[in-house]
Amino acid sequence: MRGWLACRLSGLPFEVETLFLSRPESKEKLARVSPTGMIPVLDHDGVIVTDTMAIAEYLWEVAPGCDIWPADRLARTAARSSAAEMHAHFQELRAALPMNLIKRWPIKDGIPSNVKLLARPGVEAQLARVQESWRQTRAAWGQGGPFLFGARFCFADAMWAPMASRFRTYSVTLAPEAAAYAEAVLAHPHVAEWVAAAEAQAREIGWEACAAWP
Ligand SMILES: N[C@@H](CCC(=O)N[C@@H](CS)C(=O)NCC(=O)O)C(=O)O
């Protein structure tokens, strides 16, 4: 999702090759195209770039001034810090709430069954920090629009999109300001396009199977 969003924000034309990581033949296929054995990987006329952040920075160099980063140098620095915080942290939160665009965590007998996931060690503190990080960045730069840097959705917002999707999947209650930001990110046309494509794929593969993973 984030690699695709970086490509979309670059404004450059690109093609997507989809790989189903759960399929046995995928490991070998992935090893052929990605030196790290991980996705996303970008092949730009033979230049191979691995890692989401590296892809965004590479695309920024190819298309400087594109929508990946804000135009202002200090805003760009803050955007890089925000994206890097997301990239480097929140392991416990991410492990407790695996990303799944199709799944909607059920609420049984009036008791949200996500309570157990959110009670795992470290999760509550990280959940608070995510919201505080959004609040701090928006307080400094977010005037004039719903995103971290105001009206223009940039790669920092893209980095947080999977986090926003987790909060929707697992019915996580957020502070009103954080909830509004997460909603704006998920409603952005680029993000909505990716989610719609995932839903189309899930309809093809089998919705229930996709919603049951992991
Ligand atoms: N540092 C990488 C991490 C990417 C990553 O963890 N990719 C996972 C899928 S989201 C992967 O390729 N896993 C390989 C596998 O499951 O075989 C980035 O964010 O770009």
Range 61-90 average pLDDT: 98
Q: C-alpha angle with apex 42: 36 to 44, nearest 5 degrees? A: 130
Q: What is the domain extent for residue 38?
A: 2-66
How crowded is residue 117: how many other Cβ atoms within 10 Å of its Cβ? 17
Among 39, 50, 99, which residue has the most ligand 1 atoms within 8 Å of its CB, making it the best to mutate?
39
Of 12, 10, 160, give the one whose Cα is nearest residue 81.
160
- Structural domain includes residue 206: no
Are 106 and 46 in the same domain? no
| Residue owning the nearest CA to atom 17 of ligand 1 | 21
* pLDDT at residue number 117: 86
Has residue 172 got a pLDDT over 90? yes
Range 109-125 average pLDDT: 82
pLDDT-based confidence at residue 112 (cuts at 50, 70, 90):
low
The per-residue pLDDT for range 62-76, each reduced to its tens digit, is: 999 999 999 999 999
Are 128 and 181 in the same domain? yes
Q: What is the CATH number of the domain that holds 59?
A: 3.40.30.10
The per-residue pLDDT for range 13-34, each reduced to its tens digit, is: 999 999 988 889 999 999 999 9
Ligand 1: centre distance to CA 105 (Å): 23
| Residue owning the nearest CA to atom 20 of ligand 1 | 51
Are 110 and 51 in the same domain? no
Residues counted in the chain: 214
Ligand 1: centre distance to CA 86 (Å): 14
Q: Give how many domains the chain has, as a whole number.
A: 2
Question: pTM for this structure?
Answer: 0.96
Ligand 1: centre distance to CA 23 (Å): 15
Are 53 and 92 in the same domain? no
- Structural domain includes residue 95: yes
The SS3 of residue 130 is: helix
